[in-house]
Structure 1
């Protein structure tokens, strides 16, 4: 049996936006990069907008000046999707609350959680103050009202309010009404 030939892709590799992002991250203007790689500003602009494809030697020169490997421009995007209905349920020890993990399970940089308090339930993070092993803990109230308690203060939050704290700061929370609540927690790095 003869192997079937591989069908080439019909779409062009869109590398311009990645080149532009790297150039901007290096704090180079388009004029500065054009001078360094000996191209006109308009030609470099067309490359960045994927209107023209650079020659291999031009691409290698641009990548050398930007200190990146040519292959970085062609790698697949690192995108992960967690569907709401497929988000894994977790339990961080709260009472009367449904919690799901919205970020990928093995994401090492950030952890995003959604907590839902059903109507008619007064939920809490527990009676005792607790900490999470994250440097930064951000709480955003999507709906409902809650109170966040610390050793020396308590803050009441309404829908749309956001509280940022050191995750190692002892705290707890509780819902303030029985209309339900939805909370979004962001932990950096993940707990």
Structure 2
């Protein structure tokens, strides 16, 4: 999944500018921009804040027609992990996708 593109698509679907998303999340506009351009990956904690601002759940963010139950399980596991382990999980998933 392209997380940055997903953030941008959801933001635009709610007619929210990057500046306004930054304002309501407390995440700087430059960081939001870097997330959306996939320069950096947001930690789960930031994704939760963004999802709350967009009035969706993390499950909705990662929902996929392929297997939403499995994705929900992965999100629930990731929420309880320290950020370092979430980053490791993300890297493993990327490596498996290549």
In which range does the TM-score fall when normalised by the shorter chain?
0.5 to 0.7
Superposition pairs of residues 54-69 of structure 1, within 5 angstroms: 54-69=42-57
More helix by share: 2
More strand by share: 1
Superposition pairs of residues 15-54 of structure 1, within 5 angstroms: 15-54=3-42
Superposition pairs of residues 64-143 of structure 1, within 5 angstroms: 64-76=52-64
Unaligned 5+ residue runs, structure 1?
1-12, 79-191
Unaligned 5+ residue runs, structure 2?
67-98
TM superposition outliers: structure 1 runs of 4+ over 4 Å: none
Cα shift readout 1:129-167 (whole Å, capped 9, x = no counterpart): xxxxxxxxxxxxxxxxxxxxxxxxxxxxxxxxxxxxxxx
The TM-score normalised by the length of structure 1 is 0.32
User: What RMSD, in angstroms, separates the aligned Cα atoms of the two structures?
Assistant: 1.7
Q: Larger C-alpha radius of gyration, 1 or 2?
A: 1
CA distance in 1, matches of 2:64, 2:15: 25
Aligned residue pairs, count: 66
CA distance in 1, matches of 2:65, 2:6: 11
Alpha-carbon shift at residue 71 of structure 1 (Å):
2.0
Alpha-carbon shift at residue 77 of structure 1 (Å):
5.9
The TM-score normalised by the length of structure 2 is 0.59
